[in-house]
Amino acid sequence: MLEQVASAFEQKDYKTAARLLKQLLKESPDNPWVQFYVGRLHEVSGKRRDAEKIYRRLLRATTNAKIMSQARQGLLRIEEMEQEERQRAISKATSDSSSSEQGILILEPISNESKAEAAQKFAKIMQIDSYSARLMLPSRGWRFYKTGAVGELNFYGKQLQKAKIPCFWTTLAEIKKIQVFQVNYFQESNFKPTAVCRNQNDQIGSLSFDWSEVKRRVVGLLPIFEKVVDRDIRGKVERKTQTQDYFQFCDLHIPGRHCILRFYDNDYDFQQGIEISDSSSINTIRINWNNLLRWLDQQLPSVKVSSDFTPFAETLLDQTEMLGQIESHIHLFRREKTNWDPAFHLYSGLIFVKNGVMS
């Protein structure tokens, strides 16, 4: 009867094949050839997941070389069909101009308990091996994963979310829309704060707001690099760049005005505006900065502080082309350009877009 089944498949007479297999499953349900043809029937009926399960089970359970070869060919056919469908879907998703804008896909943290199962799904969706997929999925903080046309990222992102793999995506254009004001100092009148600041054209002015408008604080350390002379293990003199210290940055997000108030320790004018100096101690920049942050804690007790910039930046510092499209709005004196500056603005901008504009 197996010959009749094989003949029915050759003639694409799947109705006859199904009738014969129904009888064979009653007589010899464990026969690997019967199982293979059941998988083949699932495949031609569009039930690819059922077919894939049977093919993989046969590869694990049988030593028959011919069956194993047929099962591998079945898996290859399924993979090719899915690849063609994926390419058609991506082409359709990026067919209009708005869907072809440059975007970025971010993976959000997933619990270690869920990671093994999620890695299998992630590997299948993104067509990578399971080991690499597991390494890609973050346990803490965000991880940069991919840039490309936002239509394509939307295609992948929705599949990931459906598989319960947390992620989000946006266009670089959305990040560029955010206005950034460089704060010189804060002053307060009748309990209403005012930021004396410079706009993106370096014009000085002031912006009054209510504390209730601030929806997020973002803090991060930006490294200060210096050229140093050192000796290697053989005592040979070498010149290299080392991190000597850090600038401390803070952003206040005001999504209702689509702007960020940005300031950092070495630029903030502690002698102006609100009094934060501690008269009982030497007022170093570090002490003044800590006092400023404590003052902000008092004004914004329930506003979340995002502080995972450094581990996030380390996942994308090699993306020079993408980061080169982002204006950092950070005006530090640098002997050499660094990707840390646009990375901080991207981190803050992503938080702004995700929690401000999208909420």
pLDDT in tens, 9-22: 888 888 898 988 88
Amino acid at 226: E
pLDDT (0 to 100) of residue 358: 41
Question: Are 153 and 189 part of one and the same domain?
Answer: no
Question: Are 237 and 290 part of one and the same domain?
Answer: yes
pLDDT in tens, 247-263: 999 999 999 999 999 99
Buried b (16+ CB within 10 A) or exposed e, 332-357: eeeeeebbbbbbbbbbbbbbbbbebe
Which residues on neighbouring strands pair with residue 225, listed in sequence order? Answer: 243
Helix (H, G, I), strand (E, B) or coil at 141: coil
Give the pLDDT band of residue 279 (cuts 50, 70, 90): low
pLDDT (0 to 100) of residue 237: 65
Question: Are 189 and 168 part of one and the same domain?
Answer: no
For 336, residues 6+ apart whose C-beta sits below 8 A from its C-beta are: 225, 241
Amino acid at 163: A
Question: Are 110 and 237 part of one and the same domain?
Answer: no
Question: Are 182 and 170 part of one and the same domain?
Answer: no
- Find the CATH number of the domain harbouring 75: 1.25.40.10
pLDDT (0 to 100) of residue 223: 94
Backbone angles phi, psi at 45, to 5 degrees: -90, 0
Last residue of a domain, one of 174, 209, 227: 174
pLDDT of 194 higher than 90: yes
Task: Please give the structure tokens belonging to residue 192.
Answer: 């209403």
Q: Write down the pTM of the prediction.
A: 0.77
Beta carbons within 10 angstroms of residue 113's beta carbon: 8
Q: In terms of pLDDT, which residue wins out, 276 or 116?
A: 116
Alpha-helix runs per DSSP H in 139-239: 150-162, 172-176
Which residues on neighbouring strands pair with residue 259, listed in sequence order? Answer: 179, 254
Range(s) of the domain holding residue 322: 177-357
